[in-house]
């Protein structure tokens, strides 16, 4: 059975799915076709049920929960760190609320978390890899940064205004769940569990063969040096990636609850394949 697996062309996702891409593990009757797109495209595609398995923003899950369940493996969760807001000058949170902010997509969890933090704010959707330039060219006042930019912003002369992972932890004492893997429920429970096991084995292979998987991930590192890529992979391929566990599940449930209470998402019931 062919399974289309959607994920971002990023070092952490590449690391996780290296074993699947290069047939390092047994996948039984499943043949995985890797579909690489930015996370906002994958979020939109999920609303169309386009892929059998796909990376999703936790924010987007609220809009596709009718068709997709979550897998317990492969999540991107930041424990006291996460997407950051940067500017070309120092500013306070109160000043930030008056700014126009470049965001990487309206369905990203970064956008949802920033909305919870600031309330309503002025923004412009900009591809994630063009946000630095938007701030530098003063088309916006600040930028919401995901991916490796969380580690490299100071190299470009930007100041960190807000770390949403730190903010969320101070508010809830929980890690910030950003990305998850969704699986189409129409595949049936048995197939969902078998595919889930394949993703688990791929992640475990990468962690047990770190140098091998990291060498592959470097192809998607967007010109960052190996030590920085290794650090980034370590941030988002962590204990919650191996298995959400109770704390990871609670973090997702809490984020969805807070967003529902703030009328930012529709009601949603969390469903995770066990």
> How far is Cα 166 from Cα 19, in angstroms, rounded to an integer?
32
Which value, in Å, is the radius of gyration of the alpha carbons in the chain?
A: 18
For the chain, where are the alpha helices, taking DSSP H only? 11-21, 39-47, 58-64, 93-96, 109-118, 131-136, 149-152, 164-172, 189-208, 210-217, 226-236, 239-242, 245-261
> Is the distance from CB of 56 to CB of 43 less than 8 angstroms?
yes
Of the candidates 75, 69, 61, the one whose C-alpha atom is nearest the C-alpha of residue 191 is: 69
Please list, in sequence order, all residues whose beta carbon lies within 8 angstroms of the beta carbon of residue 177, skipping any fewer than 6 positions away. Answer: 58, 75, 76, 77, 109, 240, 248, 251, 252, 255
> Is the distance from CB of 189 to CB of 18 less than 8 angstroms?
no
Which of 147, 169, 200, 257 is the catalytic position? 147
Residue 185 structure tokens: 């429920």
Residue that is written with structure tokens 């923003």 in the block: 57
The answer to whether residue 257 is catalytic is: no
Of the candidates 63, 64, 62, the one whose C-alpha atom is nearest the C-alpha of residue 52 is: 64
> Is the distance from CB of 106 to CB of 125 less than 8 angstroms?
yes
> Is the distance from CB of 12 to CB of 236 less than 8 angstroms?
yes
What is the set of active-site residues?
147
């Amino acid at each position: 059975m062919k399974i289309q697996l959607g994920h971002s062309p990023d070092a952490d996702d590449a690391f996780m799915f290296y074993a699947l891409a290069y047939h390092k593990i047994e996948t039984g009757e499943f043949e995985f076709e890797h579909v690489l797109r930015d996370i906002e495209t994958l979020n939109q595609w999920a609303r169309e049920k386009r892929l059998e398995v796909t990376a999703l923003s936790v924010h987007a899950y609220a809009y596709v929960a009718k068709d997709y369940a979550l897998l317990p493996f492969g999540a991107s969760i930041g424990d006291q760190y996460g997407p950051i807001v940067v500017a070309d000058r120092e500013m306070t949170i109160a000043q930030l609320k008056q700014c126009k902010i470049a965001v990487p997509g309206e369905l990203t969890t970064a956008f949802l978390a920033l909305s919870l933090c600031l309330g309503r704010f002025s923004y412009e959707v900009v591809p994630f890899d063009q946000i630095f330039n938007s701030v530098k060219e003063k088309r916006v006042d600040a930028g919401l940064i995901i991916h490796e930019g969380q580690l490299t912003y100071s190299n470009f002369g930007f100041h960190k205004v807000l770390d949403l992972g730190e903010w969320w932890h101070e508010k809830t004492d929980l890690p910030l769940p950003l990305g998850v893997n969704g699986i189409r429920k129409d595949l049936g429970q048995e197939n969902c569990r078998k595919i889930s096991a394949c993703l688990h084995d791929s992640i475990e292979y990468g962690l047990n063969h770190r140098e091998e998987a990291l060498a592959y991930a470097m192809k998607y590192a967007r010109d960052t040096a190996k030590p920085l890529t290794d650090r980034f992979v370590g941030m988002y391929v962590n204990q919650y990636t191996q298995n959400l566990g109770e704390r990871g599940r609670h973090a997702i449930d809490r984020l969805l609850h807070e967003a529902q209470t703030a009328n930012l998402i529709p009601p949603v019931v969390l469903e995770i394949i066990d």
